[in-house]
């Protein structure tokens, strides 16, 4: 008995976190296939693939950005309001027709980047906890949105709406863009100096500073990138719904869901460890669950219950596992999470 329990952590330690995420994803898909076929529908069809990939795209954008911010040791709770703001700004400028598409996209991304810069500067210069800084900025934006806009605003020309509707070999264009962003973010994290600095600062800001890293730059940049990715998500929602909406971000609950997806993907909430690939796996798990509950016509309110349960169980598994894994490298200091 003791031999078995001692052998298990050693074997698990060889699996990377990302591998576990995808094993869980395969498990979820298998379970879904059983449930769906038990209900008399077929699961492995191209329409399922399209549906799951579509469900992935928006949360995917937000979660990629959230991954960067969380690895750098901060958090972003302002994303839903950035999503709404981008959709409003984009729709306002695009209302003039096809000529407004490029300026609309640029303006929306610029505004998003400015919000991200504000987040990053409040976190680094005023030394406010990322939780509070972005919660505060999010609240400020939501007050502005709630005061200035009632109902939908502006519109998107048909050319722009194509982005939301185009399928390439069954894969939505929006998902392709999202995966491209994920690839770029992974390149940034693993192949550039800035990426390594993001990990260093998130792991231990003090050590990073003593090693000559400018600790503020990575945090600010990851906040800016996160907000711009949230802005892209807002533009994509605009392309789907064709009108800007001041509440579309908060309705989606993208702040907490993206953090959940990031943590589900094996990134440490305390920062310094994790990756984009795991996050995409986490987003895919949510998308498969959503799709299956949609097909099975589960009461929509029950979805939240399942999501909550999945988050807790998955993270409990990781946390248990990472406890077994962490001590060898950083003994004592730096493990107080």
Interface positions with other proteins (CB under 8 A): 70, 72-75, 122-124, 126-133, 135-144, 146-147, 201-202, 204-206, 209, 219, 256, 259-260, 263, 269-272, 299, 301-309, 311-312, 315-316, 319-320, 323, 336-337
Q: Could you list the beta-strand ranges (E) of 85-231.
A: 167-168, 171-172
Q: How far is the CB of 322 from other proteins (least distance, A)?
A: 8
Nearer to other proteins, 12 or 303 (CB): 303
Cα–Cα distance list, 39 to 36, 50, 207, 302 (Å):
5, 20, 55, 18
Closest C-alpha among 328, 238, 288 to residue 31: 288
Q: Could you list the beta-strand ranges (E) of 180-332.
A: none
Cα–Cα distance list, 27 to 49, 69, 141, 144 (Å):
16, 29, 40, 44
Classified as helix, coil or strand, 168 is strand
Q: How far is the CB of 252 from other proteins (least distance, A)?
A: 13
Nearer to other proteins, 54 or 119 (CB): 119
Nearer to other proteins, 98 or 309 (CB): 309
Nearer to other proteins, 30 or 256 (CB): 256
What is the 8-class DSSP label of residue 129?
-
Structure tokens at 280: 């995409």
**Are the beta carbons of 83 and 227 closer than 8 angstroms?**
no
Nearer to other proteins, 156 or 185 (CB): 185
Nearer to other proteins, 51 or 74 (CB): 74
Q: How far is the CB of 164 from other proteins (least distance, A)?
A: 27
Q: How far is the CB of 92 from other proteins (least distance, A)?
A: 19
Angstrom distance (rounded) from CA 132 to CA 271: 16
Q: How far is the CB of 308 from other proteins (least distance, A)?
A: 3
Phi, then psi, of 222 in degrees rounded to 5: -65, -35
Angstrom distance (rounded) from CA 61 to CA 59: 6
Q: How far is the CB of 107 from other proteins (least distance, A)?
A: 22
């Amino acid at each position: 008995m003791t031999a078995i329990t001692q052998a298990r952590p050693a074997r698990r330690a060889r699996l990377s976190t990302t591998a576990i995420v995808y094993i869980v994803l395969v498990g979820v898909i298998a379970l879904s296939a059983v449930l769906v076929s038990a209900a008399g529908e077929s699961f492995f069809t191209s329409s399922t693939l399209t549906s799951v990939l579509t469900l992935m795209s928006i949360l995917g954008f937000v979660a990629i950005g959230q991954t960067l911010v969380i690895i750098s040791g901060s958090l972003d709770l302002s994303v839903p309001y950035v999503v709404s703001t981008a959709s409003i700004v984009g729709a306002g400028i695009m209302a003039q027709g096809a000529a407004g598409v490029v300026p609309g996209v640029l303006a929306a991304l610029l505004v998003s980047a400015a919000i991200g810069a504000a987040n990053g500067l409040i976190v680094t210069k005023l030394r406010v906890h990322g939780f509070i800084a972005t919660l505060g900025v999010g609240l400020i934006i939501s007050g502005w949105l709630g005061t200035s806009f009632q109902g939908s605003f502006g519109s998107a020309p048909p050319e722009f709406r194509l982005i939301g509707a185009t399928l390439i070999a069954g894969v939505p264009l929006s998902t392709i863009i999202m995966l491209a962003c994920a690839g770029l973010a992974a390149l940034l994290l693993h192949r550039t100096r800035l990426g390594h600095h993001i990990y260093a600062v998130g792991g231990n800001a003090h050590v990073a500073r003593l090693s000559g890293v400018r600790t503020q730059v990575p945090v600010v940049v990851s906040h800016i990138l996160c907000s711009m990715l949230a802005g892209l998500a807002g533009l994509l929602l605009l392309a789907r719904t064709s009108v800007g909406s001041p509440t579309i971000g908060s309705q989606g609950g993208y702040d907490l869901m993206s953090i959940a997806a990031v943590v589900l993907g094996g990134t440490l909430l305390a920062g310094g460890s994790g990756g984009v690939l795991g996050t995409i796996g986490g987003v895919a798990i949510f998308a498969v669950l959503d799709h299956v509950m949609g097909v099975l016509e589960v009461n929509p309110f029950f979805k939240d219950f399942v999501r909550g349960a999945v988050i807790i169980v998955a993270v409990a598994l990781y946390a248990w596992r990472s406890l077994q894994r962490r001590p060898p490298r950083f003994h004592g200091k730096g493990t107080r999470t």
